[in-house]
Structure 1
Amino acid sequence: MRVADIIGVDRMRSWGLALLSASAILGANSAWAASTIYSCDDGKGHKLTSDRPIQECLDREQRLLNKDGSHRDTVPPRMNAEEQAVFEEQQRVKQAQEAARKDAVRRDRNLMLRFPNEAAHNKGRVAALDDLRKAIAISEKRVAELQADRKTLMTEAEFFKGKSMPFKLRSRIEDNEATQQAQRDIIANQKAEMVRINALYDAELARLRRLWAGAPLGSVPPAVASGTAPR
């Protein structure tokens, strides 16, 4: 047999297999369709059945039945554009709520791993406040130094009472006062931050106490609305 004839036979075999596969698929689809019956009431007292979705019942539920008449599934009614938009919005809200629930569970789990008991939480609070206390102590020490410098400057300024104070001396006094005020502002800000952190830890502790007592993860409302305790 010639090579060309051999190639021709192989091609015919390939085409034959492809046709058999396609026929098998079509046969399977036809068998499924034949075994499925759509049924509905058209709203006028008529019960309709078909082997495909019933056009007269697209606005209502259609029951999918097996060949023996047993119920297999229910096909929901088709929606118009407005109904579809409402449905999609409901689905979006539902998905957002589920994502928020899972996130709350994750946060609670991490929180309890970080603070397994109240002693661990108190230790975390102390650590969070420690840097602020150190910063306040540094600023207070700086203010004391500036006050001592100002006392020296004012003693020097006494020599010019009733006279024009030298520009350099006046500038040093003004700089001293401005620097003192800046340090006082830093101290006030650090103390305000300490109050904020303590409030956050207080709210977090109240949440943890409920979780430690057995409340399900994700079931306790957020401890605070404006932030979370520092990590």
Structure 2
Amino acid sequence: MLSTSFWEHRLRGLPLTGLMAAWLVVPAADAWAQKSTLNGGIYTCVDDSGRRLTSDRPIRACLDREQKVLGSNGAVIRVVPPSYTGAERDAIKAEKRALREERARLEEEKRQNRALLSRYPNKALHDKARSDALVQIDEVIGAVVKRGTDLEGEHKEIKTELEFYQGDATKAPPWLQRKLEDNLQQQKIQQQFMMDQVAEKSRINVRFDEELARLRKLWIQYGYKNAESTVAQPEKNGAGTASAN
């Protein structure tokens, strides 16, 4: 900032009218220089009413919008972003977090689509995978049925032994009572296990049904024109090469 002595030196020898005009300019120039250097410049913005405001510090009426900071030559030297309340900042953070999560979800969906197309380029392979999964469950169910049949046979033998005690388990010796209790407990466990396997079989079918519906859309989207055929393969001219972008 230029000192007053500098201006006094420059003004010596000026005519009266020039002297008066110069002394009017000096305070204005000095004030602008002081304001433009205070806090790094002059803040300016347009408020809700459309008024342009200026200040040597951040303008309270414009805290919810950006404010420009002007240098001594009137050029914009920086832009101050809006200042938000705690609740507003939390809302902005939540919105950004939701956007990140949505982008991550979409990327994961693309990854899954690529994996699904790579694994099942046609319905024949998908049908085979379903069949293999169901065969495993059916084998488990078969074992459960066999175990249940064996337990029913054991229960009949125990009932036969109980006939000696008029069918009253309380009159039977402790070892026979324990054998009966164990048999009934094992039958209950096998029944629950059977229910679980039936439910699992249903879940497998639902999963493969949903996958097939999804695959059919992907096959169309990426040019797997013969995917419904039992011998379908991706097109060799580029169609059917899944990028799932």
TM > 0.5 between the two? yes
The one of 102, 110, 123 aligned to 2:115: 110
Change (3 A) 1:184 1:85: closer
Structure 1: distance between partners of 2:173 and 2:129: 53
Structure 2: distance between partners of 1:115 and 1:196: 19
Q: Identity over aligned residues, as a percent?
A: 32
1:79 and 2:86 correspond = no
Q: CA RMSD in A?
A: 4.0
1:2-21 to 2 correspondences below 5 Å: none
1:147-166 to 2 correspondences below 5 Å: 147-161=152-166, 164-166=171-173
What is the aligned partner in structure 2 of residue 178 from structure 1? Answer: 185
SS of the aligned residue for 2:221 comes to: coil
Report the alpha carbon displacement of residue 138 of structure 1 after superposing the two structures with TM. 1.0
Looking at CA atoms only, which structure, 1 or 2, has the larger radius of gyration? 2
1:42-57 to 2 correspondences below 5 Å: none
Name the amino acid aligned to 2:179: R
Structure 2: distance between partners of 1:138 and 1:93: 48
Structure 2: distance between partners of 1:179 and 1:162: 21
More divergent stretch after superposition (189-198 vs 166-175): 166-175
**Alignment coverage as a number of residue pairs:** 171
Q: Which segments of 5 or more consecutive residues in structure 2 lack a partner in the other structure?
A: 1-43, 69-77, 224-245
1:194 and 2:201 correspond = yes
What is the aligned partner in structure 1 of residue 32 from structure 2? Answer: none
1:21-170 to 2 correspondences below 5 Å: 77-81=81-85, 85-161=90-166, 164-170=171-177
Change (3 A) 1:160 1:108: same
What is the aligned partner in structure 2 of residue 219 from structure 1? Answer: none
Report the alpha carbon displacement of residue 191 of structure 1 after superposing the two structures with TM. 0.8
Change (3 A) 1:75 1:129: farther
Report the alpha carbon displacement of residue 171 of structure 1 after superposing the two structures with TM. 2.6
Cα shift readout 1:61-83 (whole Å, capped 9, x = no counterpart) = 689xxxxxxxxxx9575434455
Structure 1: distance between partners of 2:207 and 2:81: 50
Structure 1: distance between partners of 2:80 and 2:122: 51
